[in-house]
Amino acid sequence: MSTRLRLALWSLLALLLGSALLGRAAGESGLAPGAFPARLSAWGLIHREGGMLKARAGSVTYDLATPLFSDYALKWRVLFLPKGAKAAYDPDRVLDLPVGTVIAKTFYYPLAPTAQPGGEEVLKAHPADYQTGVGGLRVGRVRLMETRLLVRRAAGWIALPYVWDEDQRDATLERVGDTIPLTLVDGAARTSFVYVVPGTSDCAGCHAPDYTKGAINRIEPIGIKARHLNRRFPGAFGDINQLARLVRLGLLTGKPAAAEIPANVDWRDARLPLNARARSYLDINCSHCHSPVGAARTTGLWFDQGHEHGADWTNPTRTGLCKQIVAGGHGGGGRPFDVAPGEPDRSILLYRVGSNEPGTMMPELGRSLVHAEGLALLANWIARMDGQCRLASEVR
């Protein structure tokens, strides 16, 4: 039976069983109002069960080597493949995921001890707060913010943002996103900020990977690439490599030997080389735009760790080394170079990552707060980098 036929039958079955959503998702080409359920629960992917939020059987919870920073929110990532379908391995790009795939990413914060459920006070997460999500998410002392669904249809991926209701029982589709005031509590420090839920059209701001082939609005996931997944994580078969798990579950084909799979590293792991940590951080936080084909291709500053459209770390200027500002208004902060080895204070990269002012801050979307720990990593990386940049006026 061909994959296509099998999929069609599966879709039909889903339809007959009353769970028509994925079938519709696979068939529809546009994104018309009303085409998707107003409530997250209607997808049948995630449900409340006592004090737990649980994913449908057959799904796989996963994590990334280094995640994108999103205002200190924690994220629970779940992959739902259509029954019988498999993903195909790709060394650089997103895994080739079959029509009908859904990725659900739930953003949440631990609650401050004094906070009311659904209230504004949330905690900056510490390692003890971290939940793997394997077996579900304990939701008693968390504030659920949003669940973003990425749905693979025949016509391509679409993104649907669901914002969790005040009572935290279900989430509501907010196609144009939302703005939610929060206060981040970190010990004695309290920081008020606006948590911004991106709308469906904002999604293309990060999820449209290629601006060079027309149809720019074609979006795809970011994290579900081999190099981000190539790490151990608990789940089925124990604490094993995530790609190996997908193979053992019969959900991934084409995976080469472990030694041939690229791997990003955990940006927090101080035992690893600073260079690898910083590049992994820049890859996941920046390269969805800063690649030779992305939205920021025109900057000539590229951080993609993949190979096909990857950053060329042998061409230092392309990764910011001694690269002088050419545009960007006040985004340069008066600093002369994107990256000036040994001189964090002369490096624009740190100015922009360290800003939370729209128009200056990088990334442009997806955060209102500065990621102090990420900024410190990049500052340390630049401070210890060999070399020197000088302006023409400094050497003439």
Q: Please report, as ranges, the residues that interact with other proteins according to CB under 8 A.
A: 30-33, 118-119, 163, 165-166, 172, 175-181, 194, 196, 199-202, 204-205, 208, 211-212, 214, 216-217, 292, 295, 297-300, 317, 322-336, 348, 357-361, 364-365, 368, 391-393
Question: Hey, what's the torsion of the CAs at 295, 301, 306, 307, to 10 degrees?
Answer: 110
At 364, the amino acid letter reads E
Nearer to other proteins (CB atom), residue 80 or residue 351: 351
Q: How far is the CB of 221 from other proteins (least distance, A)?
A: 17
- Which letter does DSSP use for residue 40 in this model? G
Nearer to other proteins (CB atom), residue 275 or residue 298: 298
Cα–Cα separations (whole angstroms), residue 290 to 297, 299, 315: 6, 8, 15
Nearer to other proteins (CB atom), residue 166 or residue 386: 166
Q: How far is the CB of 360 from other proteins (least distance, A)?
A: 8
Q: How far is the CB of 45 from other proteins (least distance, A)?
A: 21
Q: How far is the CB of 25 from other proteins (least distance, A)?
A: 17
The angle formed by the CA atoms of residues 356, 362 and 363, to the nearest 5 degrees, is 110
Nearer to other proteins (CB atom), residue 89 or residue 211: 211
Query: Which residues are CB-contacts of 25 (< 8 A; sequence separation ≥ 6)?
Result: 36, 100, 102, 151, 152, 153, 158
CB 109 within 8 A of CB 123: yes
Nearer to other proteins (CB atom), residue 136 or residue 306: 306
Nearest by Cα to 99 from 116, 81, 111, 84: 81
Calpha distance 22→129 (Å, rounded) = 33
Calpha distance 44→21 (Å, rounded) = 9
Q: How far is the CB of 30 from other proteins (least distance, A)?
A: 7
Nearer to other proteins (CB atom), residue 210 or residue 283: 210
Nearest by Cα to 338 from 283, 378, 285: 378
CB 182 within 8 A of CB 192: yes
Nearer to other proteins (CB atom), residue 163 or residue 251: 163
At 116, the amino acid letter reads Q
- Which letter does DSSP use for residue 13 in this model? H
Nearer to other proteins (CB atom), residue 51 or residue 118: 118
Q: How far is the CB of 60 from other proteins (least distance, A)?
A: 30
Q: How far is the CB of 386 from other proteins (least distance, A)?
A: 18
Question: Hey, what's the torsion of the CAs at 211, 347, 326, 216, to 10 degrees?
Answer: 10
Q: How far is the CB of 87 from other proteins (least distance, A)?
A: 26
